[in-house]
Amino acid sequence: MIVLNNLALHLEILRRKEGEQNLNALAGFFRPKAVAVIGASRSPGKIGNAIVKNILGHLYPGRVFPVNPKETEIEGLPCYQNIGAVPEPVDQAIISVPAAKVLAAAEECGKSGVKFLTVISAGFKETGKHGLELERRLVEICRRYNMRMLGPNCVGFMDTHIPINASFAAGFPLQGEIAFISQSGAMVLAILDWSHAAGIGFSKFVSLGNKADLTETHFIENAAADPNTKVILCYIEDVENGRHFLEAAGQAAHKKPVIILKSGTSQAGPGRLLHTPAPWPAATWLTKPPFASAG
């Protein structure tokens, strides 16, 4: 009995350490001390302008650095020619430039020591063979400089407890305890609008986009370890690594409810509205037998 009790205690300590590691792995992602917006704009209506306004307008406590070689000031902030000209270290760079310029921007971020990228820009694997090659090279750059990336082709992310709104969405969720992780940018915007009408709060919103690096699995692990999140809600079209996903979802479900909403089994239906072409339809993974085995 003593041996079993000690074993149970040891396993509980390991689980807590694992949870802390998962939270810390993306802690800098959601809690950057400084954010650069590459492709920031002075023009209302442009995505680069909306991102800067959203970060500034929701009481983000860190520093914000607009980057655009054609501007000297945006939304009252000094604007820098490139990320290398920013006068202090940047943890998170939000990239919103044409796809053809993303690789050069990512390379500059790597050389400047940026840890996380959120690539809003479209024009990657969702567009075909050329875009797929661009995305492959973008991932190579991230690997070379040990950067982690959300996207490309995404709406961005939000955390109501930091708070930070690093997205181009028109609005910010009420503070709450639900983490919403979505492969569909359209679904992110729809749930955001609905949540205000329903009076329901969220802890995090994450738009996964093409999932070239960070996936739903990473954010499920992070949300499972996040004390501000009590429920994890996911909208998923496909799963890149089914085994890892099921392990993460199963472990998370032992801590808090995990709700998975899947797109239609046909890629020609709901998939038309989604960002990422599905190598494996979600229904292949998100069925009762796999989840039953995952706990």
Task: List per-residue pLDDT tens for the chain, 295 residues long.
Answer: 454 455 555 444 444 544 455 555 687 899 999 999 999 999 999 999 999 999 999 999 999 999 999 999 999 999 999 999 999 999 999 999 999 999 999 999 999 999 999 999 999 999 999 999 999 999 999 999 999 999 999 999 999 999 999 999 999 999 999 999 999 999 999 999 999 999 999 999 999 999 999 999 999 999 999 999 999 999 999 998 889 999 999 999 999 999 999 886 444 433 333 333 334 344 334 444 445 545 5
| CA 65 – CA 88 distance, rounded (Å) | 10
Please give the pLDDT value at position 229. 98
Task: Please give the domain boundaries of the chain with CATH numbers for all domains.
Answer: 35-150 (3.40.50.720), 173-294 (3.40.50.261)
**Strand residues in the chain grouped as ranges (E):** 34-38, 63-67, 73-74, 77-78, 92-95, 116-119, 148-150, 156-159, 164-167, 174-182, 201-207, 231-236, 258-262
Are 234 and 223 a contacting pair, CB within 8 Å?
no
**Confidence (pTM):** 0.85
Please give the pLDDT value at position 33. 96
Please give the pLDDT value at position 262. 87
